[in-house]
Amino acid sequence: MKSSIVIKKALLYLMLGIMAFVFAYPFYNVFVLATWPGDQVLRSPPHFFFGGGLAENYRQLITRIPFGRNFFNSLGIALSSTVSVIFFCTMAGFAFAKYRFRFRNQLYFFVIASMAIPGFLNIIPFYKMMVRFGWINTWLPLVVPGMAGAFGIFLMTQFLENSLPSDVLEAARIDGLGDFGILMRIVFPLARPAMAVLGIVTFVGSWNNFTGPLILLPKIEATTLPVALSLLNSRVDNNQGALMLGNALTLLPLIVIFVFFSKQIISGLTAGAVKG
């Protein structure tokens, strides 16, 4: 009886361990390959340990694509999106959570329903619009349209409804704070945990965005890391070192963020699903 439990437990760990390995190994492989000289990346048997070509790969990377510019664009777009999403979504979430106003429920329903619209439906006219605005090859089309995203509003409304005590707001009002003052001085400081979740999730989403910059930032100097990498990937080339290192450098910030904030990221990205 007892030994069968032990065997069962061992089997369970074995299976989970194998799965964890299958999920983790490709990441390890990205970093291993980034250190092998370009003409030795593809080898049989495949590489399992680190090589000595890191410096040369970096030289290759910065000569083949404007890596610095791409990194700067990725970072700039992600940070601008994050800051504006946090601001506008907290503001809207505060209104939906703590005010009673005409059409409140209808408007909130509209916000939620808008999330179900598939992204590709408007992509062609949206592209034409951006051409007319003169926004192609700028950060604007990747930041402005999503500044007050529906998902962020949903997340902040949920949070503020449950964890912003109404007597605190009452007290602030008695002290003579106006609506905007309450937002800035009470809501923003108290909503920090949820703002962190929303901010990280927004940053990661923007950093990984591919289709958007692919269409809207066709110029290599103006585009982001994922698109620049895909261009490098599609070149027929015997020197893969630049690609492998570029891939590792695109992945690294995400892994660092994930190590520190995995709890927030998982709770944020599954928020709608777990509660719905």
SS3 32: helix
By the rule CB under 8 A, 144 interacts with another protein = yes
The window from 49-57, 59-67, 190-198, 209-217 that contacts another protein (CB under 8 A) reads 209-217
CA distance 187 to 165: 10
By the rule CB under 8 A, 167 interacts with another protein = yes
Footprint of another protein on residues 68-87 (CB under 8 A)? none
Q: How far is the CB of 55 from another protein (least distance, A)?
A: 21
Q: How far is the CB of 190 from another protein (least distance, A)?
A: 14
By the rule CB under 8 A, 150 interacts with another protein = yes
By the rule CB under 8 A, 266 interacts with another protein = yes
What does the per-residue mask of binding to another protein show for 44-73, with x meaning CB under 8 A? Answer: xxx---------------------------
By the rule CB under 8 A, 140 interacts with another protein = no
Closer of 63 and 122 to another protein (Cβ) = 122
Please report, for the chain, how many H helices and E strands are present, in that order: 15, 0
Cα distances (angstroms) measured from residue 116 to each of 31, 47, 96 = 37, 44, 20
Neighbours of 230 (CB within 10 A): 14
CA distance 239 to 60: 9
Residues near 253 by beta carbon (within 8 Å), at least 6 away in sequence: 207
CA distance 71 to 183: 34
Helix (H) / strand (E) element for 48: namely none
Q: How far is the CB of 161 from another protein (least distance, A)?
A: 8
The window from 63-71, 75-83, 96-104, 189-197 that contacts another protein (CB under 8 A) reads 96-104
By the rule CB under 8 A, 7 interacts with another protein = no
